[in-house]
Amino acid sequence: MCMMMSRILYSGDSYGFGVLLEVGSRFPFLIKHGHACTGDGPWLPVSREHLGQCRHLEKVKQNVKHEQIIILASETSFTVNEVEALFDLFKKLSTAIVDDGFIHKEEFRLALVGSSIKQNLFADRVFDMFDIKGNGVIEFEEFVRSLSIFHPNAPKEEKIAFAFRLFGLRQTGYIERDELKEMVLAILTESDVTVSDDVVESMVNKTLMDADSKGDGKIDEEEWKEFVEKYPFLLRMMTLPYLKDITLAFPSFVLHTQVEDNK
C-alpha cells in the first residue's frame, strides 16, 4: 500500500458518511518500492511473543512449488506470472525482520505504517484478515488469496464481503456503532487528519441512518450490501489497479517462468 495514502472523504450534504478506507493504497507502495522492506539495515526490535513464535516455527522455509503457483492462479484472479511476481514481493516482506518464510505482524506493520512496534488498529485488522488460518503469521498462499480480492478482476461480491468483515472488528456478524467509530478514528489518526468529536459522531450517526434500514442500531451483511450498492464509491478501496502491473515491478521471477498465462 502507498505510504499514508489512506483517503477520507466526507460529505455532510450528500452522503453524511464517506470514509474511504483505501485498503489497497499501501500495496502499490510495496509493489513499486519493494526494496523498502528488504530487511537491509539495522535489526528492528521485536516482541517476546514474536521471538517465541520464531522459535516455535523453527525458521521453517516455505518452498513454493510450481504446482502450487499454478493452483493459486487457477483459484484466484491472478495469472501464473502475477503469482510468481507476488512471490518475489512476499520474499521481501517476509524477510524484513525475521527471515523465516512468513510475514509476521511486526513486518506487516512495518510495511503499512513504517513502524514494527507501533500499535495500529487498521494495520492489525488487515493483518488478521490476511491471516486466514489464524496462526499469527501470513503464509504465501494466504497472501495471494487475500490480495486477489483487491485485483481489478475479482468479483464484486468478494470485495463487499471483505469490506464488511474489515469493519466488523469483533466478528459478531454485524458492524456495530462502536466498531464503526473505532475504525473511523483509526483511519483519521493514520491519515493525520484532525476533526472535532462532533464531526466524528456526525459521520457515524449518518452512516447508521443510511445503512441500518432495520433500525436495530447495527449493520448486518444484507444492509451492508444495500448500502454499498447505494454508494458504490465505497468499494474503490477494494480495488488495486497496481496489481495488474505487478509483473512489471518484479520481473526477475517472471523472466524464468515456464508457463504461459491464459488469463
Q: What is the DSSP string of 117-157?
A: SS--HHHHHHHHHH-TT-SSEE-HHHHHHHHHTTSTTS-HH
The residues with which 218 forms a beta bridge, in sequence order, are 176
Provide the sign of the torsion angle of the four alpha carbons 99, 139, 249, 27, taken in this order.
negative
**Complete DSSP assignment for 76-112:** SS--HHHHHHHHHHHHHHHTSS--SSSEEHHHHHHHH
Listed by start position, the domains of the chain span 1-173+232-247
What pLDDT sits at residue 198?
A: 93
Backbone phi, then psi, for 202, in 5-degree steps?
A: -65, -40
Quote the CA–CA distance of 106 and 47 in Å, as a whole number: 9
| CATH architecture for residues 1-173+232-247 | Orthogonal Bundle (1.10)
Return per-residue pLDDT of the chain as tens, 263 residues. 333 222 212 222 332 333 323 333 443 334 333 333 333 333 334 444 444 444 444 444 456 778 899 999 999 999 998 998 899 889 889 999 999 999 999 999 888 777 778 777 878 888 999 999 999 999 999 999 999 999 999 999 999 999 999 989 999 999 999 999 998 888 787 777 888 999 999 989 999 999 999 999 999 999 999 999 998 888 888 888 888 777 766 554 443 444 455 56
pTM tops 0.85:
no
Whether residue 221 contacts residue 40, with contact meaning beta carbons closer than 8 Å, is answered with no
Residues 6+ apart with CB under 8 A from 143: 86, 90, 103, 130
